[in-house]
Chains A and B, each alone.
Chain A
Amino acid sequence: MRAGNAGDADSYRRLLLHLTPVLRAGARRGLAGAGMADTDAEDVVQETLLAIHLKRQSWDEDAPIGPWLRAIARHKMIDTLRRRGRRIDLPLDDFSEVVAGGESEPSMLVADVDRHLECLPGGQRNVVRAIAVDGASIDETAARLSMTNGAVRVALHRGLRALASKFNGEGT
């Protein structure tokens, strides 16, 4: 995470990939504990990853990262349950267990993130899609969409923030 905050995109990506199965297990457990189907788990995971990314400055580099991650995951889990019309107090240790692999990503028909992506303004949507789905780099995206690098970066960042707020605003 420190490397990620220092702008090392590669180690940052590896960190997020490494966190995902843990988050997924936590999300499934949280949903199951609330007596809900775990089909929503992937939405929770994605929303949590977005929050981790957009709020990474709220982690003190001197502080242990575990409590910070747990607090974010827990907050997003509670958010989801509340939006789905349930109020449940999660035990704190719901996310504390590290599960090593074995939690594969389910295939989904239409995930929340795709619906939200459709609602973004065109420019942001194209940039996010090019980078996320097509795997293009910032430079390639800039060339493909005839934009400057800076404009691509700005559109990407705004697009991600808009995605997060769409997750957040849903149903409220």
Chain B
Amino acid sequence: MNTGDLIRALAADSEVHPMPPGRALALALIPGVAIALGLHFALLGLRPHLLTLLGEPRLLFKLCLTVLLVALSGQLVLRLVKPGAGVHGAALMLAIVPALLAAANLAELSAVPAGLWGQRLIGSNAKFCLESIPFLAAAPLVAALLALRQGAPEHPALAGAAAGLFAGAIGAACYATHCPDDSPLFVAAWYSLAIGFVAAIGAVAGRRLLRW
């Protein structure tokens, strides 16, 4: 079979329309997020008085930050699976999240007396947070990795890590509506650790699953 033969076969196959990665990801997230939400409501549940507490700036910040991370990491992951697409813009945008978190931490440190820092940092639920975020992120991670196989990442492990970051952010956004620890200190320590863990799993899985 020479190259012309191969091209003939490829052209004959052009009537199949593979799905673009963006649409594949959106479709896969429907069941992925549904499972995460189902587990969330069945096993964790919303924290009491969530709606009346929404005026509380720390809680509001936590919720907005996780949702922002979902949006920005989603942008990044889609660029990472498209060959030749520039990723610097999306990566720079993503840096907004740690910058905001750092700013919020400075504000928290100046607003709270030093004696309470340790208590705010450890919170009441650190271990549960570390378990819950990866647990809730599992289904979105599987969905995202499978969908991204439609793409062609130049760096499969990196794309997998970004998918893990994205799924971890979804898990964190869900968990944030349950978790009673609102201090940015707590978010910076434990949410980051939990999301980082999911990103590491994503990197390992991506290396295998996203090769092409």
Residues of A within 8 A of B (CB): 4-5, 7-10, 12-13, 16-17, 20, 42, 45-46, 49-51, 53-60, 63, 66-72, 74-75, 105, 111, 113-114, 117, 128-129, 131-133, 135, 137-138, 153, 156-157, 159-160, 164, 168
Decide if B103 is an interface residue (CB 8 Å cutoff).
no
B140 CB–A CB distance under 8 Å: no
Residues of B within 8 Å of A, CB-based: how many? 32
Tell me the smallest distance from the CB of A47 to a CB of chain B, in Å.
10
Inter-chain contact A105/B152, CB cutoff 8 Å: no
Question: Chain B interface mostly helix, strand, loop or mixed?
Answer: loop
Q: B211, A132: Cβ atoms under 8 Å?
A: no
In contact, B152 and A55 (Cβ under 8 angstroms): yes
Instruction: Tell me if A56 and B18 are in contact (CB < 8 A).
Output: yes
Cβ contact within 8 Å between B16 and A132: no
Most chain B beta-carbon contacts within 10 A, residue among A50, A58, A131, A138 = A58
Asked whether B17 is an interface residue with its Cβ less than 8 Å from the other chain, the reply is yes
Extra A-B contacts (5), CB below 8 Å, given A45-B3, A153-B16: A5-B17, A49-B3, A59-B83, A68-B85, A157-B16
Q: How far is the CA of A137 from the CA of B12 in the complex (A)?
A: 8
Is B154 among interface residues, defined by CB-CB distance under 8 A? yes
Q: CA separation between A157 and B212, bound complex, in Å?
A: 16
CA distance A4 to B18 in the complex (A): 12
**Contact B7–A16 (Cβ < 8 Å):** yes
| Inter-chain contacts of B51 with A (CB < 8 A) | none
Given contacts A16-B7, A50-B6, A113-B1, contact A70 B150 (CB under 8 A): no
Give the residue of A12, A113, A117 whose beta carbon is less than 8 angstroms from that of B11: A12
Chain A residues whose CB sits within 8 angstroms of the CB of B7 once the complex forms: 13, 16-17, 20, 49
B20 contacts which chain A residues (CB < 8 A)?
A: 57-58, 60
**Considering the chains assembled together, what is the distance between the CA atoms of A128 and B7 in angstroms?**
11
Nearest residue, chain B, Cβ from A56: B18
Residue of B nearest to A127 (CB): B9
B4 smallest CB distance to A (angstroms)? 7
